[in-house]
Amino acid sequence: MRKMLKKRIVPLAVAILLFVPSFIRPPITAAMTKTVNVLFIAALEPGDSDLQDILQTFKHELRSQGVRTEVFIEFLDAVRIAADRERMDSFEKTLQSRFVGIKFDIILAQGNLISDFAVRYRDRFFPGIPVYCFDRLLGPEYAIKYKDSPNVYGRMTTSTVPTALRLAESLFPDNTGILLVIPEMSEIHRDSMVKVLNDLQTEFPTSVFQLITTKEFLSAYSLPSSKDQSIVLVLLPGAWRMENGDMISGIDLIDWLLKQYPYPILGTKKSEFGTGLVGGAYLDPVSLGRQAGRVIFDILFSEEKPEAWQESKTETTAVDYRALQRFRIPLSHVPKDALVLFTPPGFWIRFEKQIKICVAILLIIFLAMVIIHFIRSREHRLLVRLNEQLEGMIEKRTEELIITNQELEAANGNLKSSLIRIENMQESLLENERDAVLGRMAVGIAHEINNPLAAVKSSAYSLRELLGRGPESLFSLLYNMNKNQLNLFFKTVNKILVKASPPLGSQDEQDKNKIKNRLREWGIEITSEQAEMAYDAGLAYLERGDIENLNITGDDTVLKALFFANVIDKSAAIIDQASDRISGTVEVVRSYALSQNDENETGISSITDTVNHALSLLHDPLQKGITLRVSMQPGLAEVPIPPFNLVRVWVNLIQNAIQAMKGKGILEIQGYMTGSDVLIDVKDSGPGVNPDIQDRLFMPFPYAEKKGMGMGLGLSICRKIVEMENGSIMYERTDDWTVFSVRLPGLRR
C-alpha cells in the first residue's frame, strides 16, 4: 500500500509543484515588503482602452518584481486646464483633497500637458518624488525641457505620424492631398509636425501634405465638395472642439467624422481602430506599460538610476480590412509589415452555421455508414467465417474422401491382389491336389500294374517249372504213369480245366474247408496238405465219384499230375487276366493323360461316362469288400463341366466313401434328373462324417490333421468345381447312409 502511494502520489505532487505555479500568480506574501503608491494623472480620453492596457501591464510588471502598486488615477482635461490657470489651480486642490494623507512614491503623467502639470504639482506638494512621463507623442524636446528638473523621467517615442502619413500615401496613391489634422496643441508640438510634413513632402514630391487644425478643418470642409473627393485625413489623437463647444475625441469623434465626410481617415491610436479608420500606426500600449513598469522599478528601487529619457519603439502599422473593401484598395497597396485587422471571418466562419449543419449531417451519415459497414462487415465476416468453415469442412471432407478413396483404392488393390493370390493359390492348390491325386493315382497305377505283373511273373515261373524246368514236371509225371493212371488223368483233367476258373479269393477258404469236410464225409481222410493240394488241383469242382476214383489216399501221382495241370492252366489264366488288367490300367492312364492335355476338350461331360471313368480308376480298391451299385437314370442331361474335373469329383467322393467304409460296405451311385438339373448321389454305408467338422466339411482342411490319406482339400475342390458352373454339393446323413449329393445344371440338347 505504501509503495503504491509512493508510486502514485509522489509524481503527482511533483507535477503539481512544477506546473501549477505557472498558473498561479505569485501570492502576495510577507516577503513582498514593498508597496508603492502611484499617482496617475491620465489624459481624459473617453473610450481610450490603451490606458487600461498600459496600467495593467505596468502593475503586473511591478508585481512580478515583488512590488505591490496602489494606483490612484485622476483624469485631467489637459487642454482645458492648460489654457486656464484657474482651472489648473482648482485641479490641484481637487487632487489634494482627494488623496489626503497619501504619500505618493511616484507620479505618472500621461501626455505632454499633463506632464507639465505633474512636474509643477510634484514640485509643490511632493518634492523629491520622481515623475514619469509617457505618451505617444513625447518627443525628444521634452528631454530638453525637463533637463534641469530633477527626477523627471520619461519615455520618448518617435512619432508614429510619419508612418501613418506614409501609409496614407501608399494606400491612396491617387490622392489629391493628405491632411494632417491636429487638435489644439502646444507650439512645440506643432512645429515638430510641420517638420514631419516637410520631410514627407520631400519624400513624396507629387503628393500634397498639409497641416490643418481641427478648427480650420471644420470650417473649411464643412461640406464636402466634389473637388476634394480624394483627400485623405490623418488624425492626431486629441479632442476636437466642435462648433457648439463640445469636446469630442476618440471613437465618438471618428464616428462623427465618418458620418460627415466621405474621406478615408487614418489614425495613430490603437483604441481608435476598428471604428472605421482605414488604418494607421500606433504604439502598442502593452509594451509601453511593461517598459514603464521596468523603468519605474528601477527609478524607485535600483541603486543605479536609469536614464531620464529613454526611447522606445513599439510602432505597429495596421490596416482595417473592411475599409480596404470599402475604398476598394487592393492588398498590394498594403505595406508588407502592416497588420491587416478585422479581416472578415473567412469562409469557414461566415458560413459557420451552414458548415456546422453540413458537418453534422456528414458526421451522421458517416456514423451511419460506419455502423452499417460495421454490421455488414460483421455479417461479411460471419459469412466469410462460415464460408471458411464450410470450405474447411469441404476440404476436410474432401481430404477424408480422398483418404477414404485412397484407402478404398488401396484396399481394392489389396483385394485385387488378394484375389489374384487366392486364385493363384487355388490354382496351385488345384494343381497340388491334382498332383496329389496324380500322386495317389500314380501310386494306384503303379499298384495296378505291379500287382498283375508280379502275378504274371510268378505264373511264368510256375509254368516253366511245371513244363520242364523243375525237378518234377508234368511231362515227367505223365511219362511215368501207367495206362490206367493216364486214363484217369485225362478223364479228369478236362473236367477240371473246363470248370476251373481263376481263383476268386474270398471263396477260397470256404472251398478249402468244403473239400476237407466233403472228403471227411466220404470217409476219405486226407491231410491238410493233401486237402490243400486237392483244392489247388481244382478238385473242389469234381464229383464224389471222380474224387474216389482218384484214390488219393493211395497213390497221389494222378492227383499230383492233376494239380500240375491245374496250376499250369491257372497260371496261364492268371497271365491272361493280369494282362487285361494292365492294359485296362494303361488305357485309363492314357485317357486320363489325354483328358488333361487335350485343349480342345469340351467343357461338357456325360454323367455316366465320368462316373464309369472314376470307377475304373478306382477298380482295385472297389473290388475288395465293397459292393458297388450304380444306377443312372436314362436320358441324363450333359453338364457344362470338363470331364477331367468331373471325374476328379467322383474319384474324390468315391475314395472318401471307400475310406469311410474301411474297404467294406456298400457304395451306391445314383443319377437322376430334377427339373433341368442333374442330381448325383454318392452313398456309402460308412459311419458318416464326424459331426464336429460337419460345418467345415467343404472347406479346406476340415480335419485338424489327416494322416497319409490325401491333403484334406478334396471336398473343397469338389465344391469349387461344382460351384463354378452354379452347381452344388451337399452332405447328408439319412438312414445309416452317408450321402454326398451333387446337383449340376443340365444342358438342354
Q: Which residues bind other proteins (CB under 8 A)?
A: 443, 446-459, 461-462, 465-466, 470-471, 502-506, 508-509, 527-529, 532, 536, 567, 570-571, 574, 577-578, 621, 624-625, 662-664
Residue with C-alpha cell 460506419?
A: 370
Nearer to other proteins, 423 or 508 (CB): 508
Residue number with CB closer to other proteins (264 or 444) = 444
What's the chain's length in residues? 749
Write down the least CB distance from residue 587 to other proteins, Å: 19
Of 386, 378, 593, 564, the C-alpha closest to 469 is: 564
- 527 versus 631: smaller Cβ distance to other proteins: 527
Q: 150 or 502: whose CB is closer to other proteins?
A: 502
* Closer of 333 and 560 to other proteins (Cβ): 560
Least spacing, CB of residue 485 vs other proteins, in Å: 21
Find the shortest distance in angstroms from Cβ 663 to other proteins: 3
Q: Which of 56, 31, 105 is nearest to 299 (CA)?
A: 105
Contact present, 239 and 184 (Cβ < 8 Å): no
User: Is 417 or 623 the residue whose CB approaches other proteins more closely?
Assistant: 623
Q: CB–CB of 177/210 below 8 Å?
A: yes
Secondary structure string (H, E, C) spanning 687-745: CCCCHHHHHHCCCCCCCCCCCCCCCCCHHHHHHHHHHHCCCEEEEEEECCEEEEEEEEE
- Write down the least CB distance from residue 540 to other proteins, Å: 14
CB of 520 to other proteins, least distance (A): 15
We find the least distance from the C-beta atom of residue 730 to other proteins, in angstroms, to be 28
Q: How far, in Å, CA of 247 to CA of 549, rounded?
A: 213
- Cβ atoms 132, 106 nearer than 8 A: yes
Shortest distance, CB of residue 590 to other proteins, whole angstroms?
20
Please identify, using beta-carbon distances, which residue of 272 and 448 lies nearer to other proteins.
448
Q: Cβ 620 to other proteins, closest distance in Å?
A: 8
Nearest CB to other proteins, comparing residues 380 and 664:
664
In angstroms, give the least distance from the CB of 623 to other proteins. Answer: 9
C-beta of 142 vs 535, nearer to other proteins: 535
What's the angle, vertex CA 347, arms to CA 342 and CA 353, rounded to 5? 105
DSSP category for residue 311? E
**Measured from the CB atom, is 385 or 457 closer to other proteins?**
457
Distance CA 283, CA 136 (A): 7
Query: How much of the chain is in helix, strand and coil states, percent to nearest 5?
Result: 55, 15, 25
Between the alpha carbon of residue 405 and those of residues 393, 410, 416, the distances in Å are 17, 8, 15
Q: How far apart are CA 648 and CA 596, in angstroms?
A: 11
Between 504 and 704, whose beta carbon lies closer to other proteins? 504
Residue 150 or 663: the one with the smaller Cβ distance to other proteins is 663
Alpha-carbon span 483 to 80, nearest angstrom: 225
Q: Residue 32: exposed, middle, or buried by beta-carbon count in 10 A (0-12, 13-18, 19+)?
A: middle
**At closest approach, how far in Å is the CB of 543 from other proteins?**
24
Write the DSSP assignment of 5-62 as a string of letters: HHHHHHHHHHHHHHHHHHHSPPP--TT--EEEEEEEEEE--TT--HHHHHHHHHHHHH
CB of 504 to other proteins, least distance (A): 6
Q: Are the CB atoms for 684 and 661 separated by under 8 Å?
A: yes
Query: Do residues 121 and 258 touch, judged by C-beta distance below 8 A?
Result: no
* Residue 737 C-beta: closest distance to other proteins, Å: 20
Q: Rounded to the nearest whole angstrom, what is the least distance from the CB of residue 449 to other proteins in the complex?
A: 8
Angle at CA 524, nearest 5°, toward 522 and 530? 130
Reduce the secondary structure of 337-368 to three states and give it as a string.
CCEEECCCCCHHHHCHHHHHHHHHHHHHHHHH
Measured CA to CA, the distance from residue 219 to residue 212 in angstroms comes to 11
Of 36 and 578, nearer to other proteins (C-beta) is 578
What distance in Å separates the CA atoms of residue 450 and residue 344, rounded to the nearest whole number? 145
Contacts 24+ apart (CB under 8 A), 291-294: 291/155, 292/54, 292/57, 292/58, 292/61, 292/108, 292/132, 292/134, 292/155, 293/57, 293/58, 293/59, 293/60, 293/61, 293/62, 293/65, 294/61
